[in-house]
Structure 1
């Protein structure tokens, strides 16, 4: 059996600072690189061509899925890998990707997506999730939605068990697009909100409860928490009305908003209902622990944070903030032990947090403060 082929498909605009690193991360093993340029005014297209990519000009129509699907029409390979210019794939190393593609029965394969959120790339300051990026070509899979486009998996594999369709690949994909310097430079809030509001005004919006979630996320990123809370709750209601269980990340966003507004009483006891829906979601347990800590229920909080540590930072279907199952949980354990007057246990917890994440400075500061007290 011949080796399966792979087409890289991208859409870009004014990405001259990032596109070379993106293409370089995959160029040695993909069979073709298709770059759909939606109107770059810089050297993006020239850089892509110099690296062997086919660059296709496309007139931007405010619809990300349309642009991506234009690239898919030109892809000849057995498999599609889709990336953005602000992403880089980890090196394959000894991993035999083509063997996996040849042997898998799945039609869609997910990677470990690392969404950086800080000032500089740091895996400890990032959200982690398994995200579908490889899919079989020529079976009808394509993108839908004008923004936050997604594959039409449910439409193609209607009523089929997703365990037969989805698989994973142990490779990391690093995404810089929501680091603060880039979001400011590209004014992503204004761009995204314009497209989301356009999408919300279309007839198709009635069948897409994700729109309200994405609007909530945009408001959350610019600290407009009242509007974020309104829209995340609307998204939850719309999922329920459509007969679907609201995805776990909606509850994560809801309780993150409540924390940022100081609404601890509003978060309790509702967090218990969210955990009942997603008992394996470590971030929700972490939020419960923080609620217990803020309410002064230190012994209960310790039990919750220990549970988080036992669960660990697992990357899967849930959107995980790195550290909720490790260094963040240890740090809050330290805070609880301090409140209970056990500085020795607090020091041990802070040491563990700092050991797990040396860039986690608040744990280091707490550790130094307590050691000075103890000496």
Structure 2
């Protein structure tokens, strides 16, 4: 029996009384029905949800996000589902885009949205997520953690279309919260592996969970296992470049430079002129001290538009910042003349040149390149007032180099005391 055309918003929630009203308010303008599945709230989440929908169901939590999402989807009556969490929001502009998208529901297409992650202690990051999918019996979420619907959508023969519709995600707002959820996720995924699951996606997500927990060797082993399986599997081939870039970063942490370089070479062969990948590779080349390669890949970024991929990333730097990244590498290979040209080009007005030097000094300091940081911050100081953090960095450099009086003066300007 065919389903009536329309959009079912499907959510799984638990103890979300602080979030769910704002979430549902932002979903109501485009939802033809709203399904809320509660996995064991002890607050008034369900009572608040009842103001917006009478389609509220209980589901006993079994440490399996896919099971809960598939249960929610089983309650949907429309032709398409759009899945959300309680800390997702849709702006009025994007609400209108979703209303327009409904005219493209043909039962064959599945739609990627852009997930925009907001955190209190880090810049905004973005990625693509398959959010809006036709409801079919053979299209289901898989995996207890980092649940995916893409593999079954591929097997079902769906077509995939990218949209510019933005889902604003407010979760994982502090480092402490992120780490707590990473440990939770790790325990569930390790149990899945112990129970016999052995696909590429599991090993991929194990790797990206191990890394922030300081388990780089485990992360490398898991990512190598993921890439081996991705090569054999019919799905997730688009994660292969991300996997090798991840391996390059973790190998750098482990000071395994040959493997890092091998992975970078593989990424370059796979992604070509992709600005997002090239920028990340440029930073790694700089960390390795291979500055001519860094400059070469940074040039692939210039003038290119940021397009999110499947892995959360921050937006590309501005053109001015990109010039300063290149200037840093030019300083490192003693090409001061061209470095100065880029620094001057990075500042639209002469009055802003000091800020460019300060930016360069900060980068050099964070990269532990004290000679370049010293020159850049002293030059910035001559152009005018530094930010407090920069005074502190310059003071630390003076102290390291034995200029105690200058160090004390800078630290006082930074508002610090010894």
TM-score > 0.5, shorter chain as reference: yes
- In the superposition, relative to structure 1, how do residues 96 and 128 fare at CA in structure 2: closer, same or farther (>3 Å)? closer
Q: 1:14 to 1:182 in 2, by over 3 A?
A: farther
Shift, 1:180, TM fit: 2.4
1:229 matched to 2:254? The reply is: no
More moved, 273-282 vs 239-248:
239-248
Which residue number in structure 1 is paired with residue 202 of structure 2?
Answer: 211
Aligned to 1:258: 251
Distance 2:278 2:286 in 1: 12
Is 2:7 the counterpart of 1:6?
A: yes
Structure 1: distance between partners of 2:156 and 2:118: 35
Equivalent in 304, 308, 312 of residue 301 of structure 2: 308
> How far does residue 242 in structure 1 lie from its aligned partner after superposition?
4.3
Instruction: Give the deviation of 1:183 after TM superposition.
Output: 2.3
Which residue number in structure 2 is paired with residue 346 of structure 1? 343
Rate the CA distance shift 1:270–1:217 in 2: closer, same or farther, 3 A: closer
Match of 1:248 among 241, 247, 251: 241
3-state SS of the aligned residue for 1:50?
coil
1:365 to 1:21, Cα distance in 2 relative to 1, 3 A: farther
Q: Give the superposition deviation at 1:24.
A: 1.9
The 5-angstrom pairing of residues 64-103 of structure 1 reads 64-92=65-93, 95-103=96-104
1:266-316 deviation line (CA, Å, top 9, x unaligned): 311431112212325434322432344345443442232121223332224
| Contact 2:295/2:326 (<8 A) preserved | yes
For residues 264 and 287 of structure 1, do their structure 2 counterparts lie closer, same or farther at Cα, with a shift above 3 Å needed? farther
The answer for the alignment partner of 1:372 in structure 2 is 381
SS in 2 for 1:144: coil
Q: For structure 1, which segment, 343-352 or 193-202, has the greater mean C-alpha deviation from structure 2 after superposition?
A: 343-352
Q: How many residues align?
A: 356
Which protein has the larger Cα radius of gyration, Structure 1 or Structure 2?
2
Aligned with 1:145 (options 143, 155, 170): 143
Residue deviations 1:81-137 (CA, integer Å, cap 9, x gap): 1011122123236845334322355421111112335526xxxx2332221111122
Q: CA separation in 2, counterparts of 1:94 and 1:42?
A: 29
- 2:328 pairs, out of 335, 338, 347, with 335
Listed one character per residue, the Cα deviations across residues 301-341 of structure 1 (whole Å, up to 9, x for unaligned) are 22321212233322245653322686764442231244322
The CA distance in 2 between the partners of 1:272 and 1:242, in whole Å, is 23
Contact between 1:255 and 1:287, CA under 8 Å: does it hold in 2?
no
- Return 5+ residue gaps in structure 1 as ranges: none
1:174 aligned partner: 168
Q: Give the whole-Å Cα distance in 2 for the aligned partners of 1:288 and 1:96.
A: 34
| Structure 1 residues 276 and 324, CA gap change in structure 2 (3 angstroms) | farther
Determine which structure has the larger helix proportion and give its number: 2
| Residues in 2 aligned to 1:141 and 1:159: alpha-carbon distance in whole angstroms | 7
| d(CA) in 1 for partners of 2:153, 2:262 | 39
Distance 2:253 2:321 in 1: 17
1:112 maps to: 114
Contact 1:281–1:318, Cα closer than 8 Å, also in 2: no
Find the aligned partners of 1:364 and 1:39 in 2 and give their Cα distance: 51
Tell me the equivalent position of 1:136.
134
SS at match of 1:11: strand
Residue 336 of structure 1 contacts residue 346 of structure 1 at CA under 8 Å; is this kept in 2? no
**What residue is the counterpart of 2:187 in the other structure?**
194
Deviating more after overlay: 321-330 vs 74-83? 321-330
Looking at both structures, which has the greater relative contact order when contacts are Cα pairs under 8 Å and sequence separation is at least 6? Answer: 1
Q: Secondary structure at the match of 2:92?
A: coil
Cα distance in 2 for residues equivalent to 1:91 and 1:103:
20
Whole-angstrom CA distance in 1 between matches of 2:34 and 2:360 = 44
Q: CA deviation at 1:159?
A: 8.1
Q: Is the 8 A contact 2:36 2:49 kept in 1?
A: yes
Cα contact 2:306–2:316 (8 A) shared by 1: yes
Alpha-carbon distance between aligned partners in 1 of 2:360 and 2:96, rounded to the nearest angstrom: 36
* Within-5 A mapping of 1:351-366: 362=359
Shift of 1:374: 6.1
